[in-house]
Amino acid sequence: MTGVGLCLSGGGYRAMLFHLGALWRINELGWLPELTRISSVSGGSITAGALAVAWPRLEFTGGVAANFTDEVVRPVRALAGRTLDVPVILRGLVTPGHSTGEALAAAYRKHLFGDLLLPDLPAHGPHFVFTATDLQDGDQWWFYRERQQDPPVQLATAVAASSAFPPFLSPVVLTTPVPGEDRRIELSDAGVFDNLGLDPVIGHCDTVLVSDAGKRMDKLRSVSRNWPGQLLRTLDIMDNQVRALRTSSLIKSYVDGTFAGAYWGSYSDIDNFEVDDALPAPLSRTRALAESPTRLRRTPAVVQERLINWGYAICDAGMRRWVDPKAKPPADFPYPAAGV
C-alpha cells in the first residue's frame, strides 16, 4: 500500500471554498502531483471536480502548478458568486418529469463542468472518486473514471449526486444500465453516509490527508416537544455521532501508525498544531467561518477570500506539523487584505 490520499468533506459552498484554500497550499508545497487519490463529498466534490477538469492544463514546474489560480481558483470563485440551490429547487418543482437533482446537474454543467464525461477524466494524476449515498441499499456509491455505465455518466451528474442535500436537492436518479445492477439507482448527498469520504482512500494509501469543513450540530437551549421536532433533533444527534466516531477513528489511526498524514478542519484551533510561524488565525474569527451556512448560495467576495485563506492557513499548519516539517512557511495569505 503506497500513495497519498486526500479527502475533501462536504459542507456546501463553505466546504468548496475552504478546500480550495487547502489545495492552494498543497500546490505551493509541491504535494499536488504527489496525490494518488482524491475522495470527495458534496461541496468537496465541486472543488475536486474543478481540479479534475483543470488537471490536463496545469503546468507543473518543480511540482508546483504556476497556473493553479487561473485554472482552478478562478472558476470555483465564479461559481461561488452564484446562488444555485433555490433556483434549482424551483426549477425542479415546475418542470414536469424532471427532478431537482437533474436541475442541479444541469446547473453544474452550465457553470463549471460542461459536458465532460467520467471516462474522460485524466488518466494520469490523482484517481478521482466522487462519493454519494445510495438511498435504496443505504451504502456508499462511488463515481470514478473506470466505472462502466452505458451511456457514460457526466461529471456534472456525479457531482450533483454527491451534493444532492436531502430532501430539497435529492435524489439524483441514474437510469443508465449498470453492469450487475438491474435497477435504477437513486442517490443522495454523500454526507448522509460519510461526510469525510474516507472509504475510497483508507486501505489504498499510506498517507492520508483529510480536509474537513463539515458543520457541527447546533447546541439548543431547549428542545421541541412535538414529534416532528424531536425526530429531526434525533436525526441530527445520530448524524453527529457518526461524524464524531469517524473522526476519532481517523485520529487513532494516525496515533497507532496505521497510516501517516494529517487532519485539519474548519473548527480546528491553529494554535493546537504548535507551528510557531503559522499564519494568524484567531479562533473567534475562524469559528465564525466554520459556522457559515451549508448552502449553495452566493457568497460575498470577502467571505470567499476569508474561507479560502482559512483553508490555506490550517492546511499549512497541518502539513508542516505532521507531513512536511521542513517546508518553508508561506509569506502571507492568498488574499492578505481579507485575513480570516
Q: Is 42 a catalytic residue?
A: yes
List Cα–Cα distances, 24 to 29, 42, 57, 232, 243, in angstroms: 9, 19, 16, 37, 26
Pairing of strands 260-265, 185-188: unpaired
Handedness of CA 198, 39, 35, 25 (dihedral sign): negative
Residue 91, all three cell numbers:
426549477
Pairing of strands 60-61, 172-174: unpaired
List Cα–Cα distances, 275 to 62, 271, 281, 284, 314, in angstroms: 25, 7, 12, 19, 10
- C-alpha span between 81 and 83 (Å, rounded): 7
Q: Which of 85, 189, 212, 316 is catalytic?
A: 189
Which helix (H) or strand (E) covers residue 188, if one does?
Answer: strand 185-188
List Cα–Cα distances, 266 to 19, 53, 79, 249, 310, in angstroms: 10, 26, 21, 18, 8
Q: Which of 9, 39, 42, 188 is catalytic?
A: 42
Active site residues: 42, 189
